[in-house]
Amino acid sequence: MKERVVECHRTLKPGGNVVIHIEPKISHYFKIMCDEIFGINNFKNEIVWQTGGNAKNKYQLNRFHDTIIVYCKKGKGNSTFNPVYFPYDDEYKKRSNVKMCDIHKKEYVTTAIHNSQPDVNPRLNLRYDWNGNQKQWYVSLEKMKQLHDDNRLVYNKQNIPRIKRFLVEMEGIPLRDVWCDINNIQSGEKMSYATQKPVKLLERIVQIYSNETDICMDIFAGSGTLGRACINSNRKYILLDINEKGKELFLKSTTL
């Protein structure tokens, strides 16, 4: 495996990413190997993908997930990353105490507008008195006045404001590193390949870690799920596999 990952590193574009899907039993070995090849500072994420399974186990907890590790080549700030956001659902609204602004007629949450540890990051130009409270604020005095006049501030009993963040102006709930929303059962897409992955999983990976028209490569392509995901996501692809029937399976899958 090390020889193959070294070649992946060599052929990877400076802004590219390597994504390795592996079972938890050996994922730590792969992280040590990739730390050596890519550098520990180029580690991006360890993603837990809930795969399901209800088999009984008398000797240990049932494994309910696989591991996906992600590394970049030339620094996280230089590598491709397209964040994913989900709409704000009822659970989020209840947990975050979402309210309706009677003036703007929009749902909102409130966030702090002052620094609770001003001495850690002193910004003298943002230190001023507002409503009898001398603090280091996150906005200038001029901006604070604008927010106040626009009814974008909510005050507590001490006249300390918090800012209204309207949900329609926010990007949504960000995808995090635990994925529980992609089913391991491929309805209508299952091929005769034991370790086939769902197309939705590969679509998410290529959409996050590559851009349209980029080339994505799978050196263990199996039934070619990455290729199917790239076709759906407007990416180019290179598929490699030792299985002589791999190409046949892939071509068949594209007609499903």
The pLDDT tens digits of the residues spanning 31-62 come to: 999 999 999 999 999 999 998 766 778 888 88
Whether residue 95 is predicted with pLDDT greater than 70 in this model: the reply is yes
Whether residue 213 is predicted with pLDDT greater than 70 in this model: the reply is yes
pLDDT of residue 194: 67
Question: Which phi-psi region, left, alpha or beta, contains residue 39 (left: φ > 0; alpha: ψ -120 to 50)?
Answer: left
Confidence of residue 252 (pLDDT cuts 50, 70, 90): confident
In the structure encoding, which two tokens stand for residue 143, read together? 């901006």
Confidence of residue 255 (pLDDT cuts 50, 70, 90): low
- pLDDT cut 90: percent of the chain above it: 76
Per-residue pLDDT, averaged over 226-232, amounts to 94
Whether residue 182 is predicted with pLDDT greater than 60 in this model: the reply is yes
Q: Where along the chain do the CATH 3.40.50.150 domains lie?
A: 182-256
- pLDDT cut 70: percent of the chain above it: 95
Per-residue pLDDT, averaged over 179-207, amounts to 83
Higher pLDDT, 158 or 63: 158
Question: Which phi-psi region, left, alpha or beta, contains residue 234 (left: φ > 0; alpha: ψ -120 to 50)?
Answer: left
Per-residue pLDDT, averaged over 94-116, amounts to 94
Whether residue 190 is predicted with pLDDT greater than 80 in this model: the reply is no
Confidence of residue 20 (pLDDT cuts 50, 70, 90): very high
Whether residue 251 is predicted with pLDDT greater than 90 in this model: the reply is no
What DSSP assignment string belongs to the chain? Answer: -HHHHHHHHHHS-TT-EEEEEE-HHHHHHHHHHHHHHH-GGGEEEEEEEE-------SSSPPP-EEEEEEEESS-GGGS-----EE---HHHHHHTT-EE-TTT--EEEEEE-B-S-TTTS--GGGEEEETTEEEEBSS-HHHHHHHHHTT-EEE-TT--EEEEEEGGGS--EEP-SEE-SS-SS-TTT--S-TT---HHHHHHHHHHH--TT-EEEETT-TTTHHHHHHHHHT-EEEE--S-TTHHHHHHHHTT-
pLDDT of residue 256: 56
> What is the separation, in whole angstroms, between the first and last Cα of the chain?
32
Whether residue 192 is predicted with pLDDT greater than 70 in this model: the reply is no
pLDDT of residue 94: 93
Q: Specify the range with the lowest mean pLDDT, choosing from 64-73, 222-231, 243-252.
A: 243-252
pLDDT of residue 183: 86
Per-residue pLDDT, averaged over 87-93, amounts to 92
Per-residue pLDDT, averaged over 238-252, amounts to 85
CATH number belonging to domain 182-256: 3.40.50.150
Whether residue 188 is predicted with pLDDT greater than 80 in this model: the reply is no
